[in-house]
Structure 1
């Protein structure tokens, strides 16, 4: 199966896997936020021309998110408590930090200012993961969950990373072409004819990426995003970066700590990615994590009076596995206005979308009931659209999926051949009866034809020289970033003194937004007061 078809199924699992919460308080001012001086104060930034290093941000009221950021958005973001509104601005950064006098791009930023009367700590910058997720769209949606931090003295800030949304978002196929590709080949290619279709689709996908976003593909690495973060910190006027990274945002945060250790402020890394870049290891970890989450869902489902998947978890795994197998040959009909059927690729995304949070399990039950009772796939298709950031009514997509591909392929070019990938099939099936047969195809990576063939910045997460420790959060039932990865990242960053781990014995992707009082209190104590919990502190579910 060619690269982008292989990664299409993989991205349905890993887009949010890697797909989406900082030094002592510095220069706290008792001025009301609207009265304080311009962010950078016109200070230079070493290595960059003055028009970048001395720039000031022009904050204005935010419009509704664009379709490239969130195709479901129809209105500007809602205000927070006390009438706190959202402001947007653009930050100018070098396209290529190796040529700082060359071309530039603009990154879209959003913020809500610190609470009235609060002694301002600084800007707390968020990245919610993907890679490819729009922070401009995501932060307002989750803003109320972080209001204690805003009221405690932080400006809440997020951004669209380079290649995402309104920050020169990566564009490859058109929306209609993306739909058509999934309908033409929405399953694993097994026949010669299907392999020919897949190979043609791969060529068309890569050609479209080069035609529409070729100038960006070599410059969207995580290391470049970390360099953007430091310029952002400087222009915002902070001596240290206060940072909250989730999922892939933890990889970005760890990369920043390695590149700019003396600028690390109070940092939280939630739903921590595994530092091992071996694709087999990463793929098996994903398969294990989602299978664990599915097992937990089925254990809960069979306690209900009429679980559609059967009377026990073993039967449930078999029923869902058989459903996916049947969809390989016979997609289910839907009432979708554009005429799409529910293919195995779409059903796969719909199922895993519900495993990111225990609150979503009821929707998986409803979707499986529809399949069982009506032999239609409307709800699974809707869940797939929401996961893939596609507006079901208009057919518009965000840039998340092509950005995911471009960022991952800038960080880790290449991949295994189809033969090499399938040699691991037994390991994947053992890790997950349901997901393993599909996730093994993710090992294809970027393939031989992707235009970026060598990583400019090999990953390095050593943070032993950082000015402050970085607090890691791991969730026992996290499907996308299993807690075992957080344990390995702790060691890669320098051990417990550098990166202590706070464990939450709950379910879902990420701990802070679970609103566990224990987790929220520990994180807020660190970010607001500098009180970091001891390594291996455990919060109950």
Structure 2
């Protein structure tokens, strides 16, 4: 097949009923396809519509949700529908499909109608829609003023300075109280009554409802799930094993860990590969040299480039200690850097354009107005929590959809304190990820204090016998969903799953170009052909992360020393 790049797909987890199988097949209405809302999708070749589904599949009396659905028609002989969830949680299926229609149709050989939807809590077309807990950004900022929610966690040297540890622990009571108050604000928000009706089990059943309408209640369901979308996939194939068609899970969340462990204390293990990916970044920069990377000087090795980042973090840390109103903190820089770990295609741009500007801001070399403008730009690119994004013209405060979905699915409250969470962060920074262990905040930290759980959560088993074999894919070095998650799911499913690894960096395999992996996807989706277990795909040689530097070059020169 042709060589296609899909990195742009990246946007780039119990009063509960525990469900073990499905007896509720809902196909209550039809989808009237028409033009898409131009404020969301401006590709007139795509079709959009709505499907009404129960808010609670076990209790129809509580009312209905309305799903916004999008479709790209098959360009060849149609074999059915292929559903896509882009992850997040909170990623827009409408926006993702609209932005990547041609790529998705090419990858699938044009034999499917590619279908996606905005899950509950996402966007302003699905009901319940986006979950905002503040009326404005100003209200959000005022609420969290003086806390690490706005400044990030300040530390250097992997928390080797006891003063940094003490400063963090001192904030624990305040931040815990804020998170508990945040939960109540979310419950009292316009969509607060829906918090127990968002979540992964609902997303699975909603997808099945759409499939029932489009293809019939007995047709196999084909699905591509990325990142958090793999949790939807793991739940789907075990809740509806008889409906499994061709399913790809790429960038895999460990469903056992999610079902049994508290995210705030255990999902720090998701950072197991981040420092290796960071090593790849600084190695690529060193190999490119000063002509290809602004952070490198002539003769620099990877550890020399790392030393410059450490000095930058230390300078920002010390500046913030001296003046709390500095435009950019070390916490801001860590989040910016962590965001880069997801998409290696942007490394050269970041280090040649963004890095020099960060240095200027921290060193006070930029004019005051320019410094403020640049710091706002960087904070806007990744506002500490990459999943807190503005999705409403009428409300500029952060969205809490990611937390609402992730925490609705997580284990019941166990009395964890914020001091417990902070001590876990210190331990993770010292022992798992030196440079990214202290990134704050992320959705999973909120779950220990989130007031709602979904009316239905799937707790397992995760080793059902499936109607068809599925394909599991993972980068060997993924900063958000490490390879062991994919290995766990593949091991649980045994002969019903094939795991293919990609020898590269980034979040999900589509973060890098690989004709090998694209060919695996294409063959599986079009003919059902799977490669041998243990297949490893290489990243394309012409996929350069810096000028003249590709993935193979970086792999050959990764330093063994800790950073």
Indicate conservation of the 8 Å contact 2:29/2:213, yes or no.
yes
| Structure 2 CA distance for partners of 1:388 and 1:263, relative to 1, 3 Å | closer
SS at match of 1:97: coil
What is the CA–CA distance in structure 2 between the aligned matches of 1:283 and 1:126, rounded to whole Å? 25
SS at match of 1:63: coil
Match of 1:205 in 2: 182
Q: Deviations over 1:161-215 (max 9, x none)?
A: 1121132222212341335556643234937985565345324422221112222
SS at match of 1:465: coil
Q: Deviations over 1:311-352 (max 9, x none)?
A: 4433444543554455456469xxxxxx99434554333222
Which aligned pairs between 1:10-409 and structure 2 lie closer than 5 A?
Answer: 20=12, 47=24, 53-66=27-40, 76-78=41-43, 85-115=45-75, 118-149=76-107, 151-165=109-123, 166-167=125-126, 168-169=128-129, 170-176=131-137, 177-180=139-142, 184-185=146-147, 186-188=151-153, 190=167, 194=171, 198-199=175-176, 201-212=178-189, 213-238=191-216, 239-275=219-255, 276-277=257-258, 278=261, 279=263, 282-303=266-287, 304-305=289-290, 307-308=294-295, 311-321=300-310, 323-324=312-313, 326-327=315-316, 330=319, 341-365=327-351, 366-375=353-362, 376=371, 377-378=374-375, 380-384=378-382, 387-388=386-387, 390=389, 401-409=399-407
What is the CA–CA distance in structure 2 between the aligned matches of 1:114 and 1:93, rounded to whole Å? 25
Match of 1:531 in 2: 529
SS at match of 2:134: coil
Indicate conservation of the 8 Å contact 1:478/1:509, yes or no.
yes
What is the CA–CA distance in structure 1 between the aligned matches of 2:82 and 2:391, rounded to whole Å? 34
What runs of 5+ residues in structure 2 fail to find an aligned partner?
A: 1-8, 13-21, 155-166, 363-370, 540-563
What is the CA–CA distance in structure 2 between the aligned matches of 1:389 and 1:444, rounded to whole Å? 13
SS at match of 2:486: helix
What runs of 5+ residues in structure 1 fail to find an aligned partner?
A: 1-15, 21-44, 67-75, 80-84, 333-338
SS at match of 1:432: coil
| Higher mean C-alpha displacement, 198-207 vs 96-105 | 198-207
Match of 1:506 in 2: 504
1:430 equivalenced with 2:431 (yes/no): yes
What is the CA–CA distance in structure 2 between the aligned matches of 1:453 and 1:229, rounded to whole Å? 20
Indicate conservation of the 8 Å contact 1:122/1:155, yes or no.
yes
| Structure 2 CA distance for partners of 1:181 and 1:369, relative to 1, 3 Å | farther
| Structure 2 CA distance for partners of 1:46 and 1:418, relative to 1, 3 Å | closer
Offset at 1:135? 0.7
What is the CA–CA distance in structure 1 between the aligned matches of 2:171 and 2:146, rounded to whole Å? 9
Offset at 1:463? 4.2
Match of 1:36 in 2: none
The alignment's TM-score, normalised by the length of structure 1, stands at 0.78
Indicate conservation of the 8 Å contact 2:173/2:419, yes or no.
no
What is the CA–CA distance in structure 2 between the aligned matches of 1:481 and 1:447, rounded to whole Å? 21
What is the CA–CA distance in structure 2 between the aligned matches of 1:435 and 1:57, rounded to whole Å? 45
The alignment's TM-score, normalised by the length of structure 2, stands at 0.75
What is the CA–CA distance in structure 1 between the aligned matches of 2:524 and 2:96, rounded to whole Å? 23
CA RMSD of aligned residues (A): 3.4
| Structure 2 CA distance for partners of 1:345 and 1:180, relative to 1, 3 Å | farther
SS at match of 2:77: coil
| Higher mean C-alpha displacement, 87-96 vs 52-61 | 52-61
Q: Deviations over 1:407-441 (max 9, x none)?
A: 11111143632333344423432222211234699
Q: How many residue pairs get matched?
A: 472
